[in-house]
Structure 1
Amino acid sequence: MTLADTGRPAAPQRPWTAKRVLNARPVAVALYLVIVAAIVWASYAGAQRMGYNWQWYQVPKYFGSFTDDGFQPGEILFGLGATVLLSGLSFLLAVALGLLVALLRLSGLVVGRAVAVGYLELIRNIPLLVLLYLFYYVLGPIFGLDRWWASILTLAVFHAALISEILRAAINAVAQGQWEAASAIGMSRAQAYRWIILPQSVRFLLPPMTGEFIALIKSSAIVSVIAVAELTTIGRNIISDTFMSFEIWFTIAGVYLILTLVLSFGVSALERRLATRQ
């Protein structure tokens, strides 16, 4: 006897279970590695046809070297540290600004919502490079911004528009009953946000915020156009001195790849840990 014979509706099928997703990850990683290997092979073959003289043996010294005083970090490690610092400061500022914009959009204030929507439409329709030039060449001399802070503000303002939408969606994902419960015990709206809504929205935030942070790290390479001493700028400087274009750009790309993969896997582990506690 089937479920249909008993008159009870059949249980809905779930084609994508957690087990199937986990099983699909090795396939996705393998496919990714195959694509990367194909790109590397095509670049290598093209360089060979050009008669390029490979000098991979010189790359390690730009990561660091051992002297009588111990390990001395090289230029690439200094650039990596600057990229991480630049991206971290920009992301923190972007989260603060994005939260403000999200709260304005969710507020009952007509002026607040108008300001938030105007900000979103303005920033999302200006290319990041143009925004960087505006902050550095126009606003920089007016407010005394050097290239470092102009870069941080540019990345923060640009990504805050995207982060605000992530925050707004996470806040809206919290059950309406939580608002009602907070109101029933006499909490103000600000107290409800602080103690109930925002803490519960964290589990909805981790995956998209991780993606946005990774996108910000990759976007930070654009500040090399105003000669901020980060990873991409360091790579360009090394190439101008050594003419090792292929080796250095492959190395810089690999450093970005490792950095973003470490972040992705770290947040995935944190997300699984939080899920087991719920």
Structure 2
Amino acid sequence: MQILRPSLTTYKSTWQVGFVERAVARKPIHWAHILRSTTLQNIGETFKGSVNYLSPFFINFYRGMGVLTSAELKKFPLERKIAGDEGELGDNEVSSEEYNIASTPPSIKADKLENDIKERPTKKRKLQRVTTLEIVDQRAGLWAQRHVPTRMRSTNEQNKQLQQKELECAKLWRILPAEENLHTKAEQKYVGLWIHMWNALKVMVELRDILKLSQKEFARKLKRAEELTATLAMRDQSHVAKLALKTKELQDCKAARSLKLEHREKLDADCSKLQSQLLAIEE
């Protein structure tokens, strides 16, 4: 509807407007009332307010449905005569000239009196047509009167159902503030949870960035440690090789020293022996 969706343009026919108006005003909704209001409105829009030409069928129909007011019942009797040269009208035939006499100029009436002879065949055809309409309208009126009790009972049932619906609506209106309060609290809670979730998401993103940086730093340091470990391993191997060489040199030095000591002891023995021999020779 236009009320719920103002951005869209919704066109309604006249009977729909009447239905909505009676529903909003909380009046009993009956299709005969809506049809009568629609007919009167269309007549007023088409003929600028003159509703004196309603057909006998509609008048009998509205009388049978019980939607005519007391003024309209007096205005549309079953049979009546109109003074003058206009003749007798049948069941509920309405003269549009009765209520428009003030607006009719005198010259038109004079012309009408002068041309009365020419209009008589037309009036006869009109009376024949009115007689046929009278029979149809009488049958329609009887049919409507026969069906009025059933329609009234259905209207009463509809009114009871409408009252029940109104009571249910009243209960719902009483419950509505509490529901709105609960909805507001739930919405506030939801907003708070959404804020906490958003903050947690931001913290999680920050921690993820920090983790990525830490992983990069750890990978760099691990690579450096591996390089240092490889370098130390190479140095250890070179130190082991040098240590083996030094050990071999030390062993060679010890062997050479022991050999040298042996030669020295031997030389010392030889020297002492020669000294004793020299002493013996000198003596």
- With the shorter chain as reference, the TM-score category is under 0.3
User: Which structure is larger by alpha-carbon Rg, 1 or 2?
Assistant: 2
Point out which structure has higher relative CO (alpha carbons under 8 A, 6+ apart). 1
TM-score, length basis structure 1: 0.20
